[in-house]
């Protein structure tokens, strides 16, 4: 036994103390936090309740005969403006895994027919409204109040808002306009929009496998407390961990619940945020059984789903994949019936089916002030950090940026 292992020996009844920081939640927020900690020479432990890390980076892979095929059950597109994410991708040696997305359209799906976005727009109204983009500011505007002036009211109501709703799979009229789509400086040496050869979850897998990062899956955290100068974390399976620092990178409601006993004011502050659960079903089919022309996604104004995201952006010789992102609370039978109607094939023709629930925040005007108060409450607590997709926005880059700034604050 070395001196090193003696130092980290687990005493009976004592939690493991071999990590500098415990991070709860293994989505890109928690993973990027783990990345920054490990880069700084710390030893992070990441606790994830599911069998694999990734959260909304979910690209399940299937063996079908001698072929493999993956599909995205959550996020699917990255941009050259995701500079913090790209920094991590670069450090993971994954720049060569970046691939372009095939140029297939985002289309409307109305009364069983695919319609192009452009053919559905009122062009005259668009031309009259578009110059407003140079006059109006997004700050303190809702998505509706800003964009209906940019595209025209009819275009907004009949077309554009359905595309916006498809982004976080919920109504977005009341979202803050400046948090929905952001313009950020772009990297010139990277494709404008892209994905990864094996799907986005390959990035999650790569971060999770980095030296210095320990990931414990199937570890749902049920209790956190602060005792004797350390944070102590208990999982549903009864494991106990302790470290001088704790980061919660879970949906706001989960973080609020976990903080109830330890930080009641912060917990109450988090509890005011709303979020939507997105029920998704992904299906893989043989290419020759579906007549639908290649699409990036189908968006339907008044359907039971917000969008159907397709794998046609990364074409495959044998299979196609479609992820249906449904409105919440629908019976399973209704969802499956709609999948069969849209694809025009029975369930028996599906090679694989994947089911996933994602949580996305329902941001509202005033979120910036909410965020200022959050950071004021956290200011004195160097050992405690919060990350997630409910800070500067829900895009991947917002999550990574939040983890980076929280890491820097905690490091001091
Ligand atoms: C369908 C969909 C499509 C999207 N498309 C895009 C896109 O194309 N581009 C883009 O930029 N953004 C996209 N987004 C947004 C972006 O993907 C997410 O906001 C981001 O991935 C969220 O990361 P996160 O780590 O904050 O949360 P999550 O990915 O939700 O991760 C949180 C993790 O915490 C775990 N967890 C929860 N409670 C506990 C607990 N008690 N103990 C342990 N673990 C726990 C969960 O299992 C989960 O793995 C999309 C989102 C969705 C849902």
* Alpha-carbon gap, residue 122 to 155, rounded angstroms: 6
Domain that holds residue 349: 61-81+99-103+275-362
Task: Read off the CATH number of the domain in which 36 is found.
Answer: 3.50.50.60
Looking at the structure, do residues 257 and 326 belong to the same domain, yes or no? no
Q: What is the pLDDT of residue 17?
A: 62
- Helices 83-91 and 396-411, interaxial angle, to 10°? 80
Nearest CA to ligand 1 atom 49: 55
- Asked whether the CA dihedral 280, 283, 287, 291 is positive or negative, the reply is negative
Contact 197, 205 (CB under 8 A): no
Question: What is the Cβ-side half-sphere exposure of residue 9, based on CA atoms within 13 angstroms?
Answer: 8
Nearest CA to ligand 1 atom 14: 75
Q: What is the pLDDT of residue 180?
A: 87
Q: What is the position in ligand 1's atom list of the atom closest to the CA of 258? A: 41
Q: Kindly state if the Cβ of 45 falls inside 6 Å of ligand 1.
A: no
Looking at the structure, do residues 326 and 252 belong to the same domain, yes or no? no
Q: What is the position in ligand 1's atom list of the atom closest to the CA of 31? A: 25
Would residue 146 count as lying in a domain?
yes
Looking at the structure, do residues 245 and 385 belong to the same domain, yes or no? yes
Element (H, E) at 258: helix 252-259
Task: Read off the CATH number of the domain in which 74 is found.
Answer: 3.30.70
Q: Kindly state if the Cβ of 399 falls inside 6 Å of ligand 1.
A: yes
Looking at the structure, do residues 42 and 167 belong to the same domain, yes or no? no
Looking at the structure, do residues 266 and 371 belong to the same domain, yes or no? yes
Contact 303, 109 (CB under 8 A): yes
Looking at the structure, do residues 281 and 306 belong to the same domain, yes or no? yes
User: Strands 67-70 and 106-110, how do they pair?
Assistant: unpaired
Q: How far is CA 391 from CA 117, 251, 289, 379, 412, in A?
A: 31, 11, 43, 15, 20
Looking at the structure, do residues 349 and 286 belong to the same domain, yes or no? yes
Three-point CA angle 338, 389, 36, nearest 5°:
130
Q: Kindly state if the Cβ of 388 falls inside 6 Å of ligand 1.
A: yes
CA 230 to chain CA mean position, Å? 30
Contact 81, 184 (CB under 8 A): yes
List the end-to-end C-alpha distance of the chain, in Å, as a whole number. Answer: 35
Query: How does pLDDT run along the chain (412 residues), one tens digit per residue?
Result: 333 333 333 444 555 568 999 999 999 999 999 999 999 999 999 999 999 999 999 999 999 999 999 999 999 999 999 999 999 999 999 999 999 999 999 999 988 899 998 888 999 999 999 999 999 999 899 999 999 999 999 999 999 999 999 999 999 999 999 988 888 999 999 999 999 999 999 999 999 999 999 999 999 999 999 999 999 999 999 999 999 999 999 999 999 999 999 999 999 999 999 999 999 999 999 999 999 999 999 998 889 999 999 999 999 999 999 999 999 999 999 999 999 999 999 999 999 999 999 999 999 999 999 999 999 999 999 999 999 999 999 999 999 999 999 999 999 8
Q: What share of the chain is helix, strand, coil (3-state, %, to 5)?
A: 35, 25, 40
Ligand 1 centre distance from Cα of residue 77 (Å) = 14
Q: What is the pLDDT of residue 9?
A: 39
Nearest CA to ligand 1 atom 6: 75
Number of domains in the chain: 3
């Amino acid at each position: 036994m070395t001196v090193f292992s003696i130092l980290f020996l687990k005493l009976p009844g004592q939690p493991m103390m071999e990590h500098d920081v415990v991070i709860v939640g293994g989505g890109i927020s928690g993973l990027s936090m783990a990345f920054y900690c490990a880069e700084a020479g710390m030893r992070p432990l990441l606790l994830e309740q599911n069998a694999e890390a990734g959260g909304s980076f979910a690209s399940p892979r299937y063996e079908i005969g001698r072929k493999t095929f993956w599909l995205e059950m959550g996020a699917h597109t990255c941009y050259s403006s995701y500079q913090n994410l790209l920094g991590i991708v670069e450090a993971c040696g994954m720049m060569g895994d970046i691939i372009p997305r095939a140029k297939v359209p985002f289309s409307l799906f109305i009364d069983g027919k695919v319609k192009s976005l452009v053919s559905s727009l009122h062009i005259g109204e668009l031309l009259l409204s578009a110059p407003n983009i140079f006059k109006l500011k997004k700050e303190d505007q809702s998505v509706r109040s800003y964009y209906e002036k940019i595209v025209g009211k009819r275009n907004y109501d009949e077309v554009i808002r359905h595309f916006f709703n498809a982004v976080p799979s919920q109504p977005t009229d009341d979202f803050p306009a400046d948090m929905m789509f952001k313009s950020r400086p772009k990297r010139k040496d990277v494709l404008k929009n892209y994905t990864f050869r094996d799907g986005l979850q390959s990035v999650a897998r790569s971060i999770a496998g980095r030296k210095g990062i320990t990931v414990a899956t199937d570890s749902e955290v049920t209790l956190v407390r602060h005792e004797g100068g350390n944070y102590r974390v208990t999982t549903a399976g009864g494991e106990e961990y302790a470290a001088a620092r704790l980061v919660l990178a879970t949906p706001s409601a989960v973080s609020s619940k976990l903080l109830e006993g330890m930080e009641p004011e912060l917990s109450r502050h988090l509890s005011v945020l709303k979020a939507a659960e997105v029920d998704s079903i992904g299906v893989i089919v043989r290419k020759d059984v579906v007549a639908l022309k290649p699409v990036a996604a189908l968006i339907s104004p008044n359907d039971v789903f917000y969008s159907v995201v397709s794998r046609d952006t990364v074409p495959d010789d044998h299979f196609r994949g479609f992820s249906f992102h449904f409105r919440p609370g629908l019976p399973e039978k209704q969802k499956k019936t709609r999948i069969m109607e849209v694809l025009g094939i029975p369930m028996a023709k599906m090679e694989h089916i994947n089911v996933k629930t994602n949580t996305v925040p329902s941001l509202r005007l005033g979120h910036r002030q909410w965020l200022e108060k959050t950071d004021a409450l956290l200011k004195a607590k160097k050992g405690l950090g919060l990350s997630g997709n409910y800070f500067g926005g829900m895009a991947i880059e917002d999550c990574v940026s939040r983890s980076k700034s929280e890491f820097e604050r905690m490091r001091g």
